[in-house]
Amino acid sequence: MPAVGGIVSDNKKEYPGNLTPFVMATCIVAAMGGLIFGYDIGISGGVTTMPSFLRKFFPSVYRKKEANQSTNQYCQYDSQTLTMFTSSLYLAALLSSIVASTVTRKFGRRLSMLFGGILFCAGAIINGAAKAVWMLIVGRMLLGFGIGFANQSVPLYLSEMAPYKYRGALNIGFQLSITIGILVANILNYFFAKIKGGWGWRLSLGGAVVPALIITIGSLVLPDTPNSMIERGQKEEAKTKLQRIRGIDDVDEEFDDLVAASEASKQVEHPWRNLLQRKYRPHLSMAILIPFFQQLTGINVIMFYSPVLFETIGFKNDAALMSAVVTGTVNVVATLVSIYGVDRWGRRFLFLEGGTQMLICQILVTICIAAKFGVDGNPGDLPKWYAILVVLFICIYVAGFAWSWGPLGWLVPSEIFPLEIRSAAQSINVSVNMIFTFAVAQVFLTMLCHLKFGLFIFFAFFVVVMSIFVYFFLPETKGIPIEEMGRVWKTHWYWSRFVTNVDLPYGGLEMGKNGQPVKQI
């Protein structure tokens, strides 16, 4: 029986090709799509702690917070309209990622990115100019539509463009730009909150126009991926493009495989219904479970609400925003570690190490909060060292996420789907991610109020489950060309029961240079 995460390695295919400046440049521009997502994740938490913003749109929360200085800290922000402001975006993103699947498949990855950028621009302008809560929510929904398009298309674009040996690193460019977006949003909140007259939140929300313009203009200058061009019948152009991207003339082997994958995908009329076929069971399971687990790490409790959380554990408003900047910086730096390691150490190692690190920190944070806040949420005077310790544990937790589930939650799904279901399966991935991002955003403040310190244990439980899942069920995908991915299922101890040779390209035969079969996988 093959090893738990193992693959047969002696018949690996190697396509020639370099990491050309051309491919680097296109991937950097495309990865900017993550900026709009990240900016948004980071901006809402800070804005909702700005007193002028709360007074204007959520007066009841504002009054409760003012009146509630010394009583139950766990519940001061518990308001359904306030969470609706944060989470409405993710509902919209969920819906649009489904539409984006068709656009991405029929019209190319680029056009989806363009739509994403334009919708996001509109949302940012409405939010910056908001006069009532409904404008805030409409604006956030437009931002959400934009994000649905971008998150559907950018990871696919990156994985298809990249030479397979560098696919992990280039794809994580997307996550890196998400984390940069979050950090920039945290820094801007810190400064804008200080603006006299209390209109800084308008700059915070309206500032989203900048990343939106970057991806809009970027998508106009980017080339489409060869995979997508072949899929849309532009074979000749696709080959020339592939030669340009790889920086060599001899791209025949890779090109032929792309064409074969595209032919296979043409047989498929209903990509959605198709996903239910037995041979796609591993893909479907991953498309659902990976984003589910990513959100159940609890990361967005920190990303959305860290200023709120830090205020709850005793920081002043200013210090709370500053601590969010600190966690944001750790998030960016740790993502760089992942870029360095993902194609060297592999996906499974990062998942398992990151999971263990997160688990330990969640337990430590629970102990800290339980010790001081108890069940009544009334901490008395909190010493400074205590708050610093909590921030430190939270930083180590964020680092664990940032080199494991953060980037890999987008990378792994984008590299495992065969072309014929790629777009549809990626939509499922984005939708599930958004449903659970929504759920966590929507219930977190209420959960904090009721579960109190137990909240962190809730997420810690899921971290244990997901690590066990990775250990037994996630095969290693490092260094395998995308169109060859079928073999990792075929050789996996569990998934092999769903995937047979007939389901693989060329019936599972390894093809040699001359187009003759060499051996059976």
Site residues, ligand BGC (CB under 6 A): 41, 175, 178-179, 182, 294, 299-300, 303, 331, 406, 409-410, 433, 437
**Least separation in angstroms between CB 268 and ligand BGC:** 28
3-state secondary structure 346-373: CHHHHHHHHHHHHHHHHHHHHHHHHHHH
**Least separation in angstroms between CB 360 and ligand BGC:** 19
Q: Which residue has the tokens 């899929």?
A: 231
- Find the angle CA(355)-CA(32)-CA(145) to the nearest 5 degrees: 85
**What is residue 510's DSSP assignment?**
E
Task: Give the closest residue to 245 by CA, choosing from 264, 268, 222.
Answer: 222
Minimum CB distance to ligand BGC smaller for 330 or for 390? 330
- Find the angle CA(187)-CA(294)-CA(108) to the nearest 5 degrees: 85
Q: What pairing do the DSSP bridges indicate for beta strands 517-520 and 509-511?
A: antiparallel
What region, left, alpha or beta, does residue 126 occupy, with left being phi > 0 and alpha being psi -120 to 50 degrees?
Answer: alpha
Minimum CB distance to ligand BGC smaller for 177 or for 265? 177
CA-to-CA distance for 179 and 173, rounded, in angstroms? 10
Phi, psi of 167 (to 5 degrees): -60, -45
Cα–Cα distances (Å) from 404 to 93, 167, 177, in that order, read 23, 16, 16
Q: Which two tokens stand for residue 22?
A: 């051309």
CA-to-CA distance for 314 and 306, rounded, in angstroms? 12
Minimum CB distance to ligand BGC smaller for 351 or for 498? 351
Minimum CB distance to ligand BGC smaller for 178 or for 504? 178
**Least separation in angstroms between CB 34 and ligand BGC:** 8
Minimum CB distance to ligand BGC smaller for 219 or for 295? 295
**Least separation in angstroms between CB 281 and ligand BGC:** 24
Minimum CB distance to ligand BGC smaller for 265 or for 433? 433
Residue type, 278: R
Helix and strand totals (H; E) in the chain:
23, 2
- Give the residues across from 184 on adjacent strands: none
Q: Which two tokens stand for residue 414?
A: 């984008």
Minimum CB distance to ligand BGC smaller for 163 or for 413? 413
* Residue 56: other Cβ atoms inside 10 A: 18
Helices (H), 162-208: 167-192, 200-206
Task: Give the closest residue to 327 by CA, choosing from 375, 392, 275.
Answer: 392
Minimum CB distance to ligand BGC smaller for 178 or for 368? 178
Query: What is the distance, to the nearest Å, from the Cα of residue 83 to the centroid of all Cα atoms in its chain?
Result: 20
**Least separation in angstroms between CB 411 and ligand BGC:** 10
**Least separation in angstroms between CB 41 and ligand BGC:** 4
Phi, psi of 509 (to 5 degrees): -90, 140
**Least separation in angstroms between CB 333 and ligand BGC:** 12
**Least separation in angstroms between CB 455 and ligand BGC:** 17
Minimum CB distance to ligand BGC smaller for 130 or for 182? 182
Minimum CB distance to ligand BGC smaller for 166 or for 401? 401
Task: Give the closest residue to 146 by CA, choosing from 224, 304, 35, 48.
Answer: 35
**Least separation in angstroms between CB 37 and ligand BGC:** 7
Minimum CB distance to ligand BGC smaller for 245 or for 445? 445
**Least separation in angstroms between CB 334 and ligand BGC:** 9
CA-to-CA distance for 227 and 261, rounded, in angstroms? 9
Q: Cβ distance 41 to 185 under 8 Å? A: yes
**Least separation in angstroms between CB 331 and ligand BGC:** 5
